Amino acid sequence: MTLPSIDTAYLLDFLTGLLNTPSPTGFAHQAVEYTRQALSVFPDLRLSLTRKGALLAVWPGEHNDAPRALTAHLDTLGAIVKEIKSSGRLRLTRLGGLVWANVETEGCTVFTRSGKTFRGSLMTTKASSHVYGKEGLELAREEENMEVRLDARTISEEETRNLGIEVGDYVAFDPRVELTNGFVRSRHLDDKACVACILATVKALHAAGLRPAQTTYMLFSNYEEVGHGAAAGIPPEVVELLTVDMAAVGDGQSSDEYHTTICIKDSGGPYHHGLSQRLRQLAEEQGIPYRADTYPFYASDGEAFWHAGGDVAVALIGPGVDASHNYERTHLDALLATTDWVTAYLIS
């Protein structure tokens, strides 16, 4: 069977909008709403929010005797205000596996309780070369040496508090989205790239007048980066869970930015052999450019569901993303291959 064609412009438009919607773990509601609105134009999808705040879409299939699930996560790395310093600057605590050096000098937005936002940037406490010289260069990029310099007139704790900023406010780092020559460069392609691939699948199947072979639950989770995203939200009747999340690119990895990848094993151990074999068979039948790989420092929402007691076959596929949890990059080829693979699975 030929796969329905992908609306590339739709995929990239949705992705750009999603990347530009801040969603640090615990504060992902705007990205959940953005995705809910995009899916609401497909009348056969039943949309709901879980109590935990994730988006669940149910897509009735040709059959319902072996329902399936897809999952991808909407939350990203980020931070929370830990302390308002006597200088008026903010010390942060990180969300998920954020590496301070990877966001040094990045622009950021602070979300206050009242709904106001403030702009700023993440600097070291010894940022000026002319003042600190070598000391600034050698400073460990650790929590106590990093601070938010607010773009607001404050030089004291009191002035910052008077702005309405408090301990516990969420902080999102700028994604800096750029599309050039088929490359997509942005923070948080993990895992917004895969959410966009799933939406492109939904669009492609609808445009072709098709629906999934089995009723399919799509869970867009909101706590993946802290390890328990898809632990809840997948109904017990589901027999298979396809996790769609980025592939890790780097030295010794077979993944790259031009292929989609199936992960055979990560830090949490191996994925389901039978389901992985079926997916590889499908990719080969459809001529989808894919790689098989293992990831050394990685855990997924599929494993979160397994750890929570989910009795399902779990597999993991996704586009190769260079410099993950850093300033990430992938290529449209990997996004299209991932979309084709999800589509081929759903109609199989």
224 counts as catalytic: yes
240 binds Zn ion (CB under 5 A): no
301 binds Zn ion (CB under 5 A): no
What residue is closest to Zn ion based on CB?
191
| Near Zn ion by CB under 5 A: residue from 147, 245, 256, 303 | 245
DSSP code per residue over 244-312: E-PEEPSTT----TTSEEEEEEETTEE--HHHHHHHHHHHHHHT--EEEEE-SS---HHHHHHHTT--S
CA distance 166 to 110: 10
In the complex with Zn ion, the residue whose CB is nearer, 190 or 340, is 190
Q: Which stretch binds Zn ion (CB under 5 A): 237-245, 261-269, 272-280, 338-346?
A: 237-245
In the complex with Zn ion, the residue whose CB is nearer, 81 or 230, is 230
Minimal CA–CA distance to 74: which of 37, 117, 114?
37
Q: Which stretch binds Zn ion (CB under 5 A): 22-30, 113-121, 167-175, 245-253?
A: 245-253
CB 269 to Zn ion: min, Å: 17
Catalytic residue among 147, 224, 257, 303: 224
In the complex with Zn ion, the residue whose CB is nearer, 18 or 84, is 18
CA distance 324 to 344: 27
CB 245 to Zn ion: min, Å: 4
In the complex with Zn ion, the residue whose CB is nearer, 191 or 340, is 191
190 binds Zn ion (CB under 5 A): yes
In the complex with Zn ion, the residue whose CB is nearer, 190 or 328, is 190
CB 63 to Zn ion: min, Å: 30
Q: Which stretch binds Zn ion (CB under 5 A): 40-48, 139-147, 154-162, 183-191?
A: 183-191
Q: Which stretch binds Zn ion (CB under 5 A): 16-24, 31-39, 184-192, 333-341?
A: 184-192
Copy the structure tokens of residue 69: 């699930």
Copy the structure tokens of residue 232: 């809840």
Copy the structure tokens of residue 125: 């406490």
Q: Which stretch binds Zn ion (CB under 5 A): 51-59, 191-199, 213-221, 232-240?
A: 191-199
In the complex with Zn ion, the residue whose CB is nearer, 190 or 322, is 190
Site string for Zn ion, 252-281 (x = CB under 5 A): ------------------------------
Per CB under 5 A, which of residues 142..161 are in contact with Zn ion? none
Q: Would you tell me the crossing angle of helices 8-19 and 29-39 to the nearest 10 degrees?
A: 160
Minimal CA–CA distance to 183: which of 39, 344, 323?
323
333 binds Zn ion (CB under 5 A): no
Phi, psi of 182 (to 5 degrees): 85, -10
How many Cβ atoms sit within 10 Å of the Cβ of residue 205?
20
Sequence-ordered list of residues with C-beta below 8 angstroms from that of 158, at least 6 positions apart, any chain: none
191 binds Zn ion (CB under 5 A): yes
Tell me how far apart the terminal alpha carbons of the chain are, to the nearest angstrom. Answer: 10
**Cβ–Cβ under 8 Å, residues 312 and 241:** yes
Cα torsion through 195, 196, 202, 208, rounded to 10: -160
Q: List, by residue number, the catalytic residues.
A: 224
- List interacting residues with Zn ion (CB under 5 A): 190-191, 245
